[in-house]
Amino acid sequence: MKQSAVIAQLLSRYPLISDQISRPALATVLTQLDLTLQRAIEGDVVELGCYIGTTTLFLRRLLDTTNQSDTSRIFAYDSFTGLPPKTNADASGTGEQFQGGELSVTKKQFLHEFYKANLKPPITIKGWFNDLTPEQLPETIAFAFLDGDFYASILDSLRLVWPRLAVGGVITIDDYQREALPGVERAVRDFFQGKAIELHHEHHIAVIRRR
Protein backbone atom coordinates (compact mmCIF):
# COMPACT_ATOMS: atom_id res chain seq x y z
CA MET A 1 0.00 0.00 0.00
CA LYS A 2 1.39 3.39 -1.00
CA GLN A 3 2.38 5.60 1.90
CA SER A 4 1.24 9.22 2.09
CA ALA A 5 3.52 12.20 1.59
CA VAL A 6 3.21 12.99 5.30
CA ILE A 7 4.49 9.55 6.30
CA ALA A 8 7.28 9.67 3.71
CA GLN A 9 8.37 13.02 5.13
CA LEU A 10 8.37 11.76 8.71
CA LEU A 11 10.41 8.69 7.78
CA SER A 12 12.96 10.73 5.87
CA ARG A 13 13.28 13.43 8.53
CA TYR A 14 13.64 11.39 11.72
CA PRO A 15 15.98 8.49 12.58
CA LEU A 16 15.05 5.05 13.86
CA ILE A 17 16.52 4.83 17.36
CA SER A 18 16.71 1.03 17.36
CA ASP A 19 16.98 -1.83 14.88
CA GLN A 20 13.84 -3.64 16.09
CA ILE A 21 11.68 -2.43 13.20
CA SER A 22 12.59 -1.68 9.60
CA ARG A 23 11.55 1.45 7.74
CA PRO A 24 9.23 -0.49 5.38
CA ALA A 25 7.55 -2.17 8.37
CA LEU A 26 7.24 1.15 10.18
CA ALA A 27 5.75 2.71 7.05
CA THR A 28 3.13 -0.06 7.02
CA VAL A 29 2.20 0.64 10.65
CA LEU A 30 2.00 4.39 10.12
CA THR A 31 -0.02 4.00 6.92
CA GLN A 32 -2.57 1.88 8.77
CA LEU A 33 -2.83 4.45 11.57
CA ASP A 34 -3.25 7.20 8.99
CA LEU A 35 -6.07 5.28 7.28
CA THR A 36 -7.73 4.66 10.63
CA LEU A 37 -7.62 8.39 11.38
CA GLN A 38 -9.02 9.21 7.95
CA ARG A 39 -11.93 6.86 8.57
CA ALA A 40 -12.62 8.74 11.83
CA ILE A 41 -12.66 5.54 13.89
CA GLU A 42 -13.33 6.55 17.48
CA GLY A 43 -10.84 5.51 20.14
CA ASP A 44 -7.27 5.70 21.36
CA VAL A 45 -3.96 4.28 20.17
CA VAL A 46 -2.21 1.51 22.11
CA GLU A 47 1.19 -0.12 21.76
CA LEU A 48 2.04 -3.30 23.64
CA GLY A 49 5.76 -3.91 23.51
CA CYS A 50 7.35 -0.50 23.01
CA TYR A 51 11.01 -1.22 23.94
CA ILE A 52 12.99 2.06 23.62
CA GLY A 53 10.17 3.84 21.77
CA THR A 54 11.11 3.75 18.08
CA THR A 55 7.58 3.13 16.85
CA THR A 56 5.91 5.09 19.64
CA LEU A 57 7.79 8.25 18.68
CA PHE A 58 6.53 7.98 15.11
CA LEU A 59 2.96 7.28 16.23
CA ARG A 60 3.12 10.51 18.24
CA ARG A 61 4.63 12.45 15.33
CA LEU A 62 1.88 11.29 13.00
CA LEU A 63 -0.85 12.25 15.48
CA ASP A 64 0.78 15.64 16.02
CA THR A 65 1.25 16.26 12.29
CA THR A 66 -2.38 15.42 11.52
CA ASN A 67 -3.70 17.39 14.51
CA GLN A 68 -5.16 14.26 16.11
CA SER A 69 -3.28 14.28 19.42
CA ASP A 70 -6.15 15.94 21.27
CA THR A 71 -8.68 13.32 20.18
CA SER A 72 -6.53 10.16 20.23
CA ARG A 73 -4.33 9.41 23.23
CA ILE A 74 -1.39 6.99 23.07
CA PHE A 75 -1.03 4.25 25.69
CA ALA A 76 2.28 2.33 25.82
CA TYR A 77 2.82 -0.93 27.71
CA ASP A 78 6.02 -2.84 28.36
CA SER A 79 7.64 -4.98 31.05
CA PHE A 80 10.71 -2.72 30.85
CA THR A 81 12.70 -5.76 31.95
CA GLY A 82 13.16 -7.38 28.53
CA LEU A 83 11.55 -10.39 26.89
CA PRO A 84 9.77 -13.06 28.95
CA PRO A 85 10.91 -16.71 28.83
CA LYS A 86 10.20 -18.62 25.63
CA THR A 87 7.69 -21.43 25.41
CA ASN A 88 7.58 -24.42 23.07
CA ALA A 89 5.35 -22.42 20.72
CA ASP A 90 8.31 -20.11 20.05
CA ALA A 91 10.85 -22.81 19.18
CA SER A 92 12.85 -21.99 16.07
CA GLY A 93 16.30 -22.96 14.93
CA THR A 94 16.82 -19.46 13.52
CA GLY A 95 15.59 -17.52 16.54
CA GLU A 96 18.08 -18.47 19.22
CA GLN A 97 19.12 -14.84 19.63
CA PHE A 98 15.71 -14.01 21.11
CA GLN A 99 15.88 -15.06 24.74
CA GLY A 100 14.25 -14.06 28.01
CA GLY A 101 15.68 -10.85 29.43
CA GLU A 102 16.89 -9.48 26.10
CA LEU A 103 15.75 -6.07 24.79
CA SER A 104 15.62 -4.58 28.26
CA VAL A 105 15.31 -0.82 28.77
CA THR A 106 13.94 1.09 31.73
CA LYS A 107 10.75 3.12 31.71
CA LYS A 108 12.93 6.15 32.43
CA GLN A 109 15.01 5.50 29.29
CA PHE A 110 11.84 5.13 27.23
CA LEU A 111 10.34 8.40 28.46
CA HIS A 112 13.66 10.20 28.02
CA GLU A 113 13.46 9.63 24.26
CA PHE A 114 10.29 11.74 24.18
CA TYR A 115 11.88 14.53 26.19
CA LYS A 116 14.90 14.51 23.83
CA ALA A 117 12.56 14.72 20.82
CA ASN A 118 10.42 17.43 22.47
CA LEU A 119 7.33 15.25 22.13
CA LYS A 120 4.53 14.58 24.58
CA PRO A 121 5.10 11.15 26.14
CA PRO A 122 2.37 8.53 26.02
CA ILE A 123 0.47 7.23 29.01
CA THR A 124 3.02 4.58 29.97
CA ILE A 125 2.26 1.48 32.03
CA LYS A 126 4.87 -1.00 33.22
CA GLY A 127 3.93 -4.64 33.55
CA TRP A 128 3.92 -8.09 31.98
CA PHE A 129 1.02 -8.39 29.57
CA ASN A 130 -0.49 -11.33 31.44
CA ASP A 131 -0.62 -9.18 34.58
CA LEU A 132 -2.42 -6.26 32.94
CA THR A 133 -6.15 -5.86 33.50
CA PRO A 134 -8.70 -4.61 30.94
CA GLU A 135 -9.20 -1.51 33.10
CA GLN A 136 -5.61 -0.47 32.37
CA LEU A 137 -6.45 -0.09 28.69
CA PRO A 138 -8.55 2.70 27.18
CA GLU A 139 -12.25 1.96 26.99
CA THR A 140 -12.25 2.17 23.19
CA ILE A 141 -9.28 1.42 20.96
CA ALA A 142 -9.08 2.63 17.37
CA PHE A 143 -5.58 1.39 16.58
CA ALA A 144 -3.09 -1.01 18.16
CA PHE A 145 0.48 -2.02 17.47
CA LEU A 146 1.56 -5.29 19.11
CA ASP A 147 5.24 -6.18 19.33
CA GLY A 148 5.47 -8.96 21.89
CA ASP A 149 7.74 -11.29 19.87
CA PHE A 150 6.51 -14.49 21.54
CA TYR A 151 3.34 -16.60 21.42
CA ALA A 152 2.11 -15.89 24.95
CA SER A 153 2.81 -12.17 24.72
CA ILE A 154 0.87 -11.77 21.48
CA LEU A 155 -1.99 -13.93 22.75
CA ASP A 156 -2.19 -11.91 25.99
CA SER A 157 -2.10 -8.67 23.99
CA LEU A 158 -4.92 -9.77 21.71
CA ARG A 159 -7.05 -10.85 24.68
CA LEU A 160 -6.68 -7.35 26.11
CA VAL A 161 -7.10 -5.33 22.93
CA TRP A 162 -9.71 -7.19 20.88
CA PRO A 163 -12.70 -6.72 23.22
CA ARG A 164 -12.09 -2.95 23.23
CA LEU A 165 -11.30 -2.51 19.54
CA ALA A 166 -13.86 -0.35 17.75
CA VAL A 167 -15.65 -1.63 14.66
CA GLY A 168 -13.38 -0.62 11.80
CA GLY A 169 -10.42 -0.42 14.18
CA VAL A 170 -7.06 -1.90 13.22
CA ILE A 171 -4.51 -4.09 14.97
CA THR A 172 -0.99 -4.26 13.51
CA ILE A 173 1.35 -7.01 14.71
CA ASP A 174 5.10 -7.08 14.19
CA ASP A 175 7.13 -10.18 13.24
CA TYR A 176 4.24 -11.96 11.52
CA GLN A 177 5.45 -14.94 9.46
CA ARG A 178 9.03 -14.32 10.58
CA GLU A 179 10.92 -17.62 10.74
CA ALA A 180 12.83 -16.65 13.88
CA LEU A 181 9.64 -15.82 15.79
CA PRO A 182 7.02 -18.43 14.81
CA GLY A 183 4.97 -17.89 17.96
CA VAL A 184 3.59 -14.62 16.59
CA GLU A 185 1.77 -16.22 13.65
CA ARG A 186 0.66 -19.14 15.82
CA ALA A 187 -0.90 -16.79 18.36
CA VAL A 188 -2.71 -14.84 15.65
CA ARG A 189 -4.04 -18.03 14.07
CA ASP A 190 -5.21 -19.47 17.38
CA PHE A 191 -6.83 -16.30 18.67
CA PHE A 192 -8.73 -15.35 15.52
CA GLN A 193 -10.00 -18.80 14.60
CA GLY A 194 -13.70 -18.39 13.86
CA LYS A 195 -13.70 -14.60 14.24
CA ALA A 196 -14.83 -12.15 11.55
CA ILE A 197 -11.75 -10.20 10.53
CA GLU A 198 -9.89 -8.90 7.52
CA LEU A 199 -6.20 -9.88 7.58
CA HIS A 200 -3.30 -9.20 5.28
CA HIS A 201 0.41 -8.73 5.86
CA GLU A 202 3.36 -6.88 4.40
CA HIS A 203 6.95 -6.48 5.59
CA HIS A 204 6.23 -8.95 8.42
CA ILE A 205 3.43 -6.74 9.75
CA ALA A 206 0.02 -8.39 10.10
CA VAL A 207 -2.84 -5.95 9.55
CA ILE A 208 -6.17 -6.96 11.07
CA ARG A 209 -9.30 -4.85 10.75
CA ARG A 210 -12.42 -5.50 12.77
CA ARG A 211 -15.56 -5.77 10.71
Task: Give the residue-averaged pLDDT of 48-65.
Answer: 97
Whole-prediction pTM:
0.95
Q: Say how far apart CA 168 and CA 151 lie, in whole Å.
A: 25
What are the structural domain ranges in the chain?
22-210
Q: What pLDDT is recorded for position 1?
A: 56
Q: What pLDDT is recorded for position 95?
A: 63
pLDDT at 91 over 90: no
Run of H or E residues at 63: helix 54-65
Answer yes or no: are the C-beta atoms of 58 and 157 closer than 8 Å: no
Task: Give the residue-averaged pLDDT of 16-37.
Answer: 96
Write the DSSP string, 9-56.
Answer: HHHHHS--SSSSS-HHHHHHHHHHHHHHHHTT--SEEEEE--TTSHHH
Kindly indicate the confidence band of residue 124, based on its pLDDT and cuts at 50, 70 and 90: very high
- CATH among 3.40.47.40, 3.40.50.150, 3.90.1150.170, 2.60.260.20 for 22-210: 3.40.50.150
Determine which of 85-94, 113-122, 177-186, 188-197 has the lowest per-residue pLDDT on average: 85-94
Q: Give which of 45, 67, 68 is closest to 56, Cα–Cα.
A: 45
Beta bridge partners of 126: 78
Q: Give which of 185, 181, 187 is closest to 206, Cα–Cα.
A: 185
